[in-house]
Amino acid sequence: MVISLNGTPVSSPTRQFGSKIDEDDLRAQIVEKKLASFVQWITQQDVRIAELEYALSEAQNEIVQLRRRPAAPPAAKQSPVCHTAKTEERLRAENTALQAKIRTLTTSLEQSRTEARHLRAQLPDEGELDTLAARIDGLERQVQVEAAERAAVIVERDENAAKAARLRDEVEALNARLWASDKRHRKEEAGLRAQVDQARQSRDRINQLISPLLKTNTDAQLLESVVAQAISQIESRHHRQLEHVRARHQEEVDQARSSLTDLGRPGTWGVGAINKLVAERDSLKEQLADSAVRQSRLEETVSRVMAEHEGLDRQCSAQADMIQRLNMALSDRETVLDREIGSLYDRLSEYSVAQTPGRRGPYDSILDGLDG
């Protein structure tokens, strides 16, 4: 018996057999009703015949009693008191009434006998009654067999209805699992896509930050070389100045010593020259210290720029690795989702094969959505 997903039976031989059983059962009930009405009518006629026979017997008994009543005494021997006109009139009236009643009963008896003969003529003979009884027994057995078959059909119908209900519940559970899985997968996919978009945005932002540095990488190296060259030039210039100052100082010291030797006493010119040389030496030392500070600052700036450049390189590499891992995870997740959706699609297709060709079932829209 083919059952659709909504629980209603499609065309089935068991259903047609059930309709045939209903028609035979109805025909048997009609025959039973006709037979019962015919038997009831015969019983009523028998009762009526019995009543008429009883009334006829009563009338016959009354006639016999009237005939057995002793005759009236002779007129000579009658008492003058009893022999009156009133008594005679009453007796005549009773006699007339009895005769009318006898005639009525006789007529009714003849009618009852005629009707009884007519009814007996209409009654079937014993062979017909036996045939009718056998037919009734056969109909009863057929009704019992058909009732058993109908009970079996009802049991099968209930089993099929329960099976269809279980199938419908399973399909609804699969549908709910499908929608929940699809919702969960869509949520996970949206989260992965958001992470990928965020990684792409981070990569673009890092590229925007790195691109100027990448473009000026050679400039930075050139700047470093220029700074180093400038520092070396400053050091060499300071060294030359220091050597020149030392030479001048030594020369002035020698001149002062010679002058002091020549003069025989220390002079104010020699002391002032020495103080001037000492002041120039101190100024040159301060300039050298300032140059060293500027050089250290330049070196710190270059180191910081290089460190930031290396950090950005490491961050770019880490972001690239993370993006690659996310792409691989997204690809694996899409493969798993496609496999699960395909499995659910196959199972849903198996539960939808019972639909009549040309009709669309209640879950074909789900299949169309999955195909789309």
Predicted TM-score (pTM) of the model is 0.27
pLDDT score for 104: 79
What phi and psi values does residue 258 have, to the nearest 5 degrees?
-65, -40
CA distance 188 to 59: 110
Is CATH 3.30.460 the right assignment for the domain spanning 175-356?
no
CATH of 13-69+85-174 among 3.30.750, 1.10.287, 1.20.950, 1.20.140: 1.10.287
Q: What secondary structure letter does DSSP report for 1? A: -
Cβ contacts of residue 48 below 8 Å, gap of 6+?
Answer: 112
CA distance 43 to 123: 11
The token pair that represents 356 in the structure block: 């009549």
CA distance 149 to 152: 5
Asked if domains 13-69+85-174 and 175-356 share a fold, the reply is yes
pLDDT score for 313: 64
pLDDT score for 268: 45
In DSSP notation, 241-258 reads HHHHHHHHHHHHHHHHHH
The token pair that represents 328 in the structure block: 């691989």
Half-sphere exposure of 254 (CA within 13 A, CB side): 6
pLDDT score for 270: 47
pLDDT score for 353: 55
pLDDT score for 7: 42
CA distance 96 to 257: 211
pLDDT score for 20: 54
pLDDT score for 111: 78
Q: What is the pLDDT of residues 156-196, one digit of tens each?
A: 888 887 877 777 777 777 667 667 666 766 676 666 666 65
pLDDT tops 50 at residue 325: yes
pLDDT score for 80: 47
Question: Count H helices, E strands: the chain?
Answer: 6, 0
- Look-up: residue for tokens 């059930």? 18
Strand partners, 3: 9
Q: Domain residues of the chain, as ranges?
A: 13-69+85-174, 175-356
Cβ contacts of residue 171 below 8 Å, gap of 6+?
Answer: 5, 348, 351, 363
The token pair that represents 21 in the structure block: 């059983």
In DSSP notation, 329-363 reads HHHHHHHHHHHHHHHHHHHHHHHTTTSPTT---TT
Q: What is the pLDDT of residues 205-261, one digit of tens each?
A: 655 665 555 455 555 455 455 555 655 665 566 566 556 655 665 665 565 555 444
CA angle centred on 21, ends 20 and 23, rounded to 5°: 65
Of 119, 92, 106, nearest to 58 by C-alpha is 106
pLDDT score for 260: 43
Taking residue 300's Cβ as centre, other Cβ atoms within 10 Å add up to 10
CA distance 288 to 299: 16
Q: What is the pLDDT of residues 262-321, one digit of tens each?
A: 434 444 444 555 566 667 667 767 777 776 677 677 667 666 666 666 666 677 666 667
Report the SS3 class of residue 9.
strand
Q: What is the pLDDT of residues 1-47, one digit of tens each?
A: 333 344 444 444 444 444 555 666 677 677 777 777 777 877 787 78
Instruction: Give the helix/strand (H/E) hosting 372.
Output: none
Confidence bin at 155 (pLDDT 50/70/90):
confident
CA distance 261 to 221: 58
pLDDT score for 263: 39
Q: What is the pLDDT of residues 92-144, one digit of tens each?
A: 787 787 778 777 777 776 777 777 677 666 665 667 667 777 777 777 787 78
